[in-house]
């Protein structure tokens, strides 16, 4: 199944499913000495990470009326403030009159089961109606249902058509998903057509697309290879807390790949991912503490993270030997510290 990205309300972070995603166990090793930065330029500014628009803000009904806000936006305002039954009551008559924004809102309420029982069939009915009326967000959501066969008969061709329409209307998550559909349909040639959609979604702040674009630039797939540009997009995805990007960007910073080496900053990105319970990041952090790269050498922390990494699936003979070389009191303290660890 292709790695789909859904709306922010129930976002499923997805590594691109087109065969470029790194095997985490095979991420590059950490450099043992600081590399020479060379002539690579520094990282650019971070792009903003906006949420997908689902309404015009939390306007109350009186304010909305005073500003001539469309009735469907009043329903959205209630929805955004958590008044789901009020939103439902406001949207239903509008939806029955053919308002696609209200129909899409009803679809989301029924799909997520907000103040009403979940009803994917009813959600699909409203999404379909709004999608056929040309409403991009409904096209996107209905396309997801068609791709997955949720409450509707699976129809990949129709899903692709709907996703394309939503993407061409400029909906960022539709752009990212449509790019993946292009690559899935044509692994040999789909990248070149997909790049513009990945880029547009990345520029809109979709972390999955930022990471995808970084991968494309890092290997020269669909674009000219450019590790400086790859690092720039990795940074954006990492700052958006995309786990794999945090790990990879941290390693690029330490190794000086695509730009100047910044070991202390690389350490911070890896530590952040490790604290979430990522086994690869925990392994790398153990090495950094052990070798004093990007941080002050700390035997106790190195031993703790070595244990954590091993427990969550990343065995490492080097770290095993390191742990065995500690005295019994150090081993005991590390085990106790690892036992207290809880992913955050």
**Which tokens is 135 given?**
């409403």
Structural domain contains residue 344 = yes
Which of 120, 138, 170 is the last residue before a domain boundary? 170
Answer yes or no: is 20 within a domain: no
Q: Which residue has the tokens 């499923």?
A: 12
Give me the helix-helix angle, 263-275 and 243-255, nearest 10°. Answer: 160
Q: Could you tell me how far CA 344 lies from the centroid of its own chain?
A: 17
User: What are 4-44's pLDDT values in tens digits?
Assistant: 555 543 223 333 433 343 334 445 566 544 444 343 334 44
Q: 159-184 burial, b for 16+ CB within 10 Å, e for fewer?
A: bbebbbbbbeeebbbbbbbbbbbbbb
Q: State the Rg of the chain over Cα.
A: 24
What residues make up the domain containing 159?
53-170
Q: Which pLDDT score, from 0 to 100, does residue 188 have? A: 82
What is the predicted pLDDT for the residue at 199?
Answer: 98
| pLDDT at res. 4 | 54
Beta strands in 26-88 (DSSP E): none
pTM of the model: 0.80
Q: How many domains does the chain have?
A: 2
Instruction: Provide the 10 A C-beta neighbour count for residue 206.
Output: 29
DSSP3 helix / strand / coil % (the chain, rounded to 5)? 60, 0, 40
Residue 133 domain-assigned?
yes
- The DSSP symbol for 22 reads P
Residue-by-residue pLDDT tens, the chain, 344 positions: 345 555 543 223 333 433 343 334 445 566 544 444 343 334 443 323 223 233 333 333 334 444 466 889 999 999 999 999 999 999 999 999 999 999 999 999 999 999 999 999 999 999 999 999 999 999 999 999 999 999 999 999 999 999 999 999 999 999 999 999 999 999 888 999 999 999 999 999 999 999 999 999 999 999 999 999 999 999 999 999 999 999 999 999 999 999 999 999 999 999 999 999 999 999 999 999 999 999 999 999 999 999 999 999 999 999 999 999 999 999 999 999 999 999 99
The CATH number linked to 158 is 1.25.40.10
Which of 170, 189, 209 lies at the terminal end of a domain, its last residue?
170
Whether residue 114 is contained in a domain is answered as yes
Q: Using the 3D structure, point to which of 170, 199, 229 is the last residue of a domain.
A: 170
pLDDT at 120: 98
């Amino acid at each position: 199944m292709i790695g789909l990205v859904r709306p922010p309300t129930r976002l499923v972070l997805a590594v691109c499913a087109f065969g470029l995603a790194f095997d985490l166990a095979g991420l590059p090793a950490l450099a043992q000495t600081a590399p020479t930065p060379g002539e690579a330029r520094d990282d650019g500014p971070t792009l903003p990470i906006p949420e997908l628009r689902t309404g015009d803000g939390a306007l109350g009904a009186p304010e909305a009326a005073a500003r001539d806000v469309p009735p469907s936006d009043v329903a959205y305002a209630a929805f955004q403030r958590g008044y789901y039954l009020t939103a439902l009551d406001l949207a239903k008559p509008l939806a029955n009159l053919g308002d696609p924004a209200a129909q899409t809102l009803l679809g989301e309420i029924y799909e997520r089961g907000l103040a009403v029982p979940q009803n994917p069939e009813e959600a699909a009915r409203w999404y379909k109606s709004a999608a056929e009326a040309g409403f991009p967000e409904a096209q996107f959501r209905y396309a997801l249902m068609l791709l997955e066969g949720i409450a509707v008969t699976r129809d990949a061709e129709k899903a692709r058509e709907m996703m394309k329409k939503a993407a061409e209307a400029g909906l960022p998550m539709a752009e990212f998903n449509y790019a993946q559909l292009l690559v899935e349909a044509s692994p040999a040639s789909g990248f070149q057509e997909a790049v513009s959609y990945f880029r547009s979604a990345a520029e809109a702040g979709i972390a999955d697309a930022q990471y995808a674009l970084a991968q494309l630039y890092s290997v020269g797939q669909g674009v000219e290879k450019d590790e400086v540009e790859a690092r720039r997009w990795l940074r954006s995805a990492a700052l958006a807390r995309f786990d794999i990007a945090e790990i990879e960007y941290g390693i690029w910073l330490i190794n000086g790949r695509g730009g100047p080496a910044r070991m202390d900053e690389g350490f911070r990105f890896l530590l952040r991912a490790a604290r979430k319970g990522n086994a690869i990041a925990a392994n790398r952090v153990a090495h950094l503490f052990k070798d004093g790269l990007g941080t002050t050498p700390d035997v106790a922390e190195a031993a703790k993270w070595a244990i954590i990494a091993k427990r969550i699936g990343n065995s490492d003979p080097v770290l095993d030997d390191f742990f065995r070389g500690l005295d019994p009191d150090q081993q005991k303290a590390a085990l106790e510290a690892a036992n207290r660890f809880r992913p955050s």
